[in-house]
Chains A and B, each alone.
Chain A
Amino acid sequence: MIFGIPLQAFLGQLLVGLINGSFYALLSLGLAVIFGLLRVINFAHGAQYMLGAFVAFLALKFLGVPYWGALVVAPLVVGAVGALIERTLLSRLYDLDHLYGMLFTFGLALAIEGSFRWYFGASGQPYATPKALTGVFNLGFMVLPIYRAWVIVASLVVCLAVWALIEKTRLGATLRAATENPSLVQSFGINVPMLLTLTYALGAGLAALAGVLAAPIYQVSPLMGSNIIIVVFAVVVVGGMGSIMGAIVTGYLLGIAEGLTKVFYPEASNIVIFVIMAIVLILRPAGLFGKEG
């Protein structure tokens, strides 16, 4: 018993929080990567997450591509579509107010989600958990479905890999420099427009990867992205716009905070993240990990 709550219920919700946090972290990481370099608030991120799940679903249904293949194929397909959109449409807006990028991606999200809802209907399509990941771990004090453990591990590994790519490699140093002063970096002979395209593709690919991971848990539905994306924006704001580590850590923390609120004060669990966001915005407007000014 912890504060009068049975241990099972506590750990169970902690786990639910960690799972949700895994998705928040993956999605807010992609948003932070895109915002950092492109200065675009990618409202299409939820739609790209949904597209990832649908690519997995359709690839299995029509081409027999299994889950493991979908983990690779869906990010590549959605990343390629993202690259095409950035190159042909989004890049035309960089010289205008940042608001236009936000409006464009918002419109894009509405168009993508609208057409999927028109074609597939609003209800979810089931996506089977891969055989190797069915079953449970019996931890004694609780039962942990293997697939959920896998989601947590996969998300952690991918988040840390992307963090290391940006903070520890030459390519990452180039990305960080281009975030500070793109035209100077380009004057060194680095193809910055290409870098922007690849960064948008990376962000979209990460969203798609989260979509594939989510498919067996939440079902594949045209609205799955718009349900989660508002929370993810709150995560990015709390973490600090553009901060990579901030987005990751805050994603897990807020997922856990949401899960624990379900134990201690269930009525507030849907709003706790936004309450935290409001408090952070008052006390530290740049976010927990953001730099002031």
Chain B
Amino acid sequence: MSALLNVSDLNAWYGESHILHGVNMHVTEGETVCILGRNGMGKTTTLRSIMGLVRKRTGAITFAGQDVMAMPLHRTARAGLGFVPEERGIFASLSVDENLMLPPVVAPGGMTLDEIFQLFPNLLERRNSPGTKLSGGEQQMLAMARILRTGARCLLLDEPTEGLAPVIIDAIGAVLRELKSRGMTVVLVEQNFRFASKVADRFYVMDHGVMTHEFPVGELDARMGMLQETLGV
């Protein structure tokens, strides 16, 4: 089975600093893949380079058979990739509703507003509040919800649980399992190892700008020693 997302020999730079040194990874349709690694190893840069937010990059990225590298930034979403940034990117001058409706629908098959409010009931109550009046957890849900509306086929999710209370983290885990049951493909960057082990099918471990290990969730226990060493958990 050929991969939905294919990344090969990806190098990327922020200004003069060379961050990614030949990243290779692939993600199959419907799979939830988690990138683990310590801070500053290039996890966020990997997602931002796939999305096209980091422009200084070399190598090859294909998504659903299309060459993503050649696309201007506003075409990547149209190809079916959706990005939820670590800082959530909720717009302060927009209401919750305006934030939710901001990304254009790129393909059929996205969630309807009813489905979204069923999944995130908090957002319905706060539709008319300014975006930044939401709690951190609500902002995270809004950042995910607005991409789920668009019909994106693959979600790039950067540290969705960062700074959130355990009960909210459980809720986000439930959302990810629901998405998986709907066939959504997810690339997850996580530091919260326990959370990741509950939602991911497969793991990459990232170190100094390259993927050093790759293993399915079944091998998790056997790999604990290596993970503790590399991640410092």
Contact = CB atoms under 8 A, between A and B. Distances in A.
A186 B93 CA distance: 17
Contact of B77 (A174, A180, A188, A193): A188
B74 A174 contact: no
A189 B93 contact: no
Given A177-B91, A180-B93, A189 B98 contact: no
B92 A188 contact: no
Contact of B51 (A174, A179, A181, A187): A187
B136 to A, nearest CB: 18
A184 B73 CA distance: 9
Interface string B1-16: 0000000000000000
A37 B53 CA distance: 19
B30 interface: no
B78 A173 contact: no
A191 B103 CA distance: 11
| Count class of interface residues, chain A | 10 to 19
B91 A190 contact: no
B85 interface: yes
Interface in A163-183: 170, 173-174, 176-177, 179-181, 183
Interface string B202-214: 0000000000000
Interface residues of B, number: 24
Given A176-B91, A177-B94, A180-B92, A191 B74 contact: yes
B103 A188 contact: yes
B88 to A, nearest CB: 10
A7 B101 CA distance: 53
Contact of B93 (A176, A183, A188): A176
B151 to A, nearest CB: 11
Contact of B104 (A177, A180, A190): A190
Given A180-B92, A192-B74, A173 B103 contact: no
A289 to B, nearest CB: 13
Given A176-B91, A185-B102, A189-B76, 16 more contacts: A173-B94, A173-B98, A173-B101, A173-B102, A177-B91, A183-B73, A187-B53, A187-B74, A188-B74, A188-B77, A188-B150, A189-B75, A189-B78, A190-B104, A192-B74, A193-B74
27 contacts: A173-B101, A173-B102, A176-B91, A176-B94, A177-B91, A179-B93, A180-B93, A181-B91, A183-B73, A184-B53, A184-B83, A184-B85, A184-B89, A187-B51, A187-B52, A187-B74, A188-B77, A188-B102, A188-B104, A189-B74, A189-B75, A189-B76, A189-B78, A190-B74, A190-B104, A191-B74, A192-B73
Interface of A: 170, 173-174, 176-177, 179-181, 183-193
